[in-house]
Chain A
Amino acid sequence: MIRVEVRFAGLPRTETGVKAETLELEPDITLGTLVERLNQRYSWEIGRGESQFILLNQRGLRRERWAHTRLEDGDSVLVISAIAGG
C-alpha cells in the first residue's frame, strides 16, 4: 500500500468540509482513479469545471493527464479553486 496526502483549499475545502487527510491506497493507482473515489466519498464532483485545479506535489496537472498519472508513496495532492485575478 502507498500513503498519499490529500489537501483541500478554497471551495473544495468548503464543499468537502475537510482540510487534509492521508489515504492508504493500492500501488499503481492513478490520480484519475483517486479523483473518482474522492467524488464518491464526498458526493461532490472534484475537479469539476474550469475553476477547480489539482496539483500533484505542488505542480499543476492538466485534467487530461490525471488518468495516466500514477501516484507514488508520499505524494501530496492538493485540490483547489481559483477563478480570476483579485
Chain B
Amino acid sequence: MFTGGYLGKLLRVDLAREHHAIEPVPEAIFEQYLGGRGVAAHYYREELGPAVDPLSPANKLIFFTGPLTGLPLPATTKFQCATRSPETGIYLCTNSSGELGPYLKRQGYDGLIIEGQARRPLYLAIAGGGVEFRDASDLVMLDTPAAIEAVRADGPGADAAVMAIGPAAYSGVRYACIMVGDRSFGRGGAGRVMAAKGLKAVAVDRRGEIPVADRARLKAILPVAAKNARETKRTHNLFGTNQYTEVMNELGCYSVRNFTTGVFEGAATLSKDYVTRHYKDRSAACFRCPVACAQVCSVRDGPLAGAVSDPEYETVGTLGGVCGVSDFAAIIAGNQLCDEYGIDTMTVGCVIGYAMECYERGLFTREDTGGLEVRFGDAAVMLELIRRIGRGEGFGKVLGKGFRELARAYPATAPYMMHVKGMAFAAYEPRGFYGMALAYGTSSRGACHNVGGWTIRDELLTGDYDRFALEGKGELVKRLQDTRAYIDSLGICTVVRSSMGFTDSPTGDVLLAATGVDFTPRLMAIGQDIIDLERMILVREGITREDDYLPNRIYTEPLPEGPARGRILTREMYDVMLDEYYRLRKWDRQGVPSGRAQEGAREAAG
C-alpha cells in the first residue's frame, strides 16, 4: 500500500469530444512497472494495437511521471511519453525534464493520456485538477518560445508549466519534438503526433502538493544527496555534456562527416575549453537540480550575433561533427533554430549529414536541393537546411520525412542513412567501441545512447572491458539497459542517480521514504521486465532480429584514421554480441521474448 509518491490517478483527455475523465491506476501496475517509462509502456501495450497509424486519431500520447517526480530530492524533473513514432513507425519512449511532470503530479495525476483528434486547434489548461479546452487558432504557427509565452499569458498562470510544439510539427517533420519550456521530448517525433491531433500546447498550474510517505526522512536525505551530486558532477556544471567532445575525438570515436571517420580536425573549436572561453554565459538547471549541467551560450559578434542556446554533447556531435561543421557559433544558432521550430537536433544533424554525403557523391543535385551546394563543413547551408526543414520548404520538406520515408523515396541513398529502426545515430562512432554498436542495435526505440545503454564508461575507461572485444558486451548492454529502464521509471535525471543510490546495485531508502514501499531490491528486475515488455510490443509491431542490425557501413568500411584506424565490426562479429545479449535476456534467436521473459511480461500486462 503506497502512502506517498503516487497519486493513483490518471487524467484521460479526449480531444475530439473535448472531454476529460479521471481514472484510477491500479497499484499492481506501479508495483510491476514502477512508473514513468514502465507504466507508459504498459498503457501503450494495452491501448495501441499494431495497426495504428502514428498520425491517425487512434494514436495516443501517453505521459507518465515516476514516484519521485516532483519530490523534494535532487533533479526530480523527469517524465516520460510513449506513443507510436512517425519517425520510426514503431513504439517510442521519450523523456523530458522541465516543470510539467512535477506540476502534473501537484494537480493530482500520475499520468496524462491524450487521445483523438481535435476539431479545432486547441491547447489544454490544467488547473485545480480540471481541464479547459482552449482555442489555439492564433497560436498554431508561432514558434515554441512565442507559443509558450502566449499560453502562459492566457493560461492557468504566469508561472504555469507549458509544453508546446513549433511550426516544424505542422510542416510535417516526422522528428518534430515537444518543447517543455527550454527542455524537450526530443527524439522520435512526439511533436508531429501532437500536431496531427490538433493540440498546440498543454499548460499545467504549479499549485498543489504531492504526498510523501516520510517527509522527515526525505528532508534528511536531500542535503546529503544534493551535496554528493554537486561534488561528483562538478565537470557537468562547468562544461556540461560537451566535455566529451574532445575525449571522443581523442579516442577516434567521434561522429564525423556522416560517420565516415571517427576523428574531426575541427574538434578544437567545439571543445569545452574553447566554448567556455568564447561562448558560455552561465550554467542552468532543470527543476530541483543541484548540478545545473546546461551551458547557456551566446554568439557575441559576427553574422550570427545574438543567437542563444544551450547545445549538449549530442547536438554538438550531430550539427557539428556529423555535418563537418566546426563553427560553434553556427551550432548555437542551429540549436536555437531547432528549439524554435521544434525539431530534434540529433536527427536533423544526422539527416543533414546524410544529405551532405549524398550530394558530394552525386546522388542529390542542385536541382534536388533547391540550388544549395550541400557540402560537409558548410555552416551556412546547415542552418539554411534547418530553416527549410522547419518550414517544410522544397528540399527541407523532403528531409523532414526522416530516414524511413527517405529510404522509400530515394533507395539509392539508403546506404548513407546512419540509423537503426528509422532513428538516427547518437554522436558516438560504433566501430570505436563495440558495446555502443550493440546498444544502438537493441535499444527499444532505435539507435540511442540512453535507452540503448551508454557503454563508454565501462567499455573504454574502467579497464573491465576491452572496447574492441565481443565477449561480455551482451551482459554489459543488458545491465545498462535494465538500469536505465528503472531510472526512466523513477522520474529522476540519470546524471544524479548515483547520489541517491540508484546504480546497477541499488541501495538506500529513498523509495521507501517516498512511497512507503521498499522497491529498492527489486529495481533491476523491474528494469528487466520493462525491457521485456517493450520487446513484446516491438515484436507485435513486426520487429525481428533483422531490425537489430546497424547500417552496412559499420560492417564493411574500416575506420580510415585515428586511434581506432582499421577497426571494423563485421556482421559475424556483431552476431556474437547479439546472440549473447538475446541469450541473457532469455529471448529466442529471433529476438522474441520466450519462456520466463514472456511470462513475466504477460503477467505484468495483466
Interface residues, chain A, with chain B CB atoms under 8 Å away: 7, 9-11, 13-14, 49-51, 53, 55, 58-62, 65, 78, 80-86
Q: Given contacts A9-B250, A10-B246, are A65 and B454 in contact (CB under 8 A)? A: no
A60 to chain B: which residues have CB within 8 Å? 459-465, 467
Cβ contact of B250, chosen from A49, A80, A83, cutoff 8 A: A80
Complex-state Cα separation, A62 to B348, whole angstroms:
38
Apart from A10-B272, A11-B235, A86-B314: 9 A-B pairs, beta carbons within 8 A: A10-B235, A13-B246, A13-B273, A14-B273, A60-B460, A60-B463, A81-B243, A86-B427, A86-B449
Among A13, A49, A78, the one with the most B-chain Cβ atoms within 10 Å of its Cβ is A13
By the criterion CB–CB under 8 Å, are A50 and B235 in contact? no
Among A50, A51, A80, A84, the one with the most B-chain Cβ atoms within 10 Å of its Cβ is A84
Cβ contact of B243, chosen from A10, A53, A85, cutoff 8 A: A10
Q: Given contacts A14-B272, A59-B467, A62-B464, are A81 and B247 in contact (CB under 8 A)? A: yes
Number of A-B contacts (CB under 8 A): 92
B563 adjacent to chain A (CB < 8 Å):
yes
B313 adjacent to chain A (CB < 8 Å):
yes
Instruction: Indicate with 1 or 0, residue by residue over B447-482, a CB within 8 angstroms of chain A CB atoms.
Output: 001100010110111111111000000000000000
By the criterion CB–CB under 8 Å, are B246 and A9 in contact? yes
Cβ contact of A83, chosen from B236, B272, B314, B460, cutoff 8 A: B236
By the criterion CB–CB under 8 Å, are A86 and B461 in contact? no
A80 to chain B, nearest CB (A): 5
Interface CB pairs A-B, < 8 A, 21: A11-B235, A14-B239, A55-B251, A55-B461, A58-B251, A59-B463, A60-B459, A60-B461, A60-B463, A60-B464, A62-B463, A78-B251, A80-B247, A80-B250, A80-B461, A82-B456, A82-B460, A83-B236, A83-B457, A85-B450, A86-B427
B312 to chain A: which residues have CB within 8 Å? 86
B570 adjacent to chain A (CB < 8 Å):
no
Among A65, A80, A82, A86, the one with the most B-chain Cβ atoms within 10 Å of its Cβ is A86
B505 adjacent to chain A (CB < 8 Å):
no
A11 to chain B: which residues have CB within 8 Å? 235, 239, 243
CB-based nearest A residue for B457 = A82
Cβ contact of B457, chosen from A13, A59, A78, A84, cutoff 8 A: A84
B563 to chain A: which residues have CB within 8 Å? 58
Complex-state Cα separation, A85 to B459, whole angstroms:
13
CB-based nearest B residue for A49 = B232
A50 to chain B: which residues have CB within 8 Å? 232
CB-based nearest A residue for B315 = A86
B387 adjacent to chain A (CB < 8 Å):
no
Complex-state Cα separation, A15 to B423, whole angstroms:
37
By the criterion CB–CB under 8 Å, are B460 and A85 in contact? no
A9 to chain B, nearest CB (A): 4
B443 to chain A, nearest CB (A): 12
By the criterion CB–CB under 8 Å, are A85 and B273 in contact? no
CB-based nearest B residue for A17 = B273
Complex-state Cα separation, A11 to B22, whole angstroms:
50
Q: Given contacts A13-B273, A55-B461, A65-B463, are A82 and B241 in contact (CB under 8 A)? A: no
Cβ contact of A85, chosen from B235, B454, B467, cutoff 8 A: B454
By the criterion CB–CB under 8 Å, are A62 and B313 in contact? no
A10 to chain B: which residues have CB within 8 Å? 235, 243-244, 246-247, 272
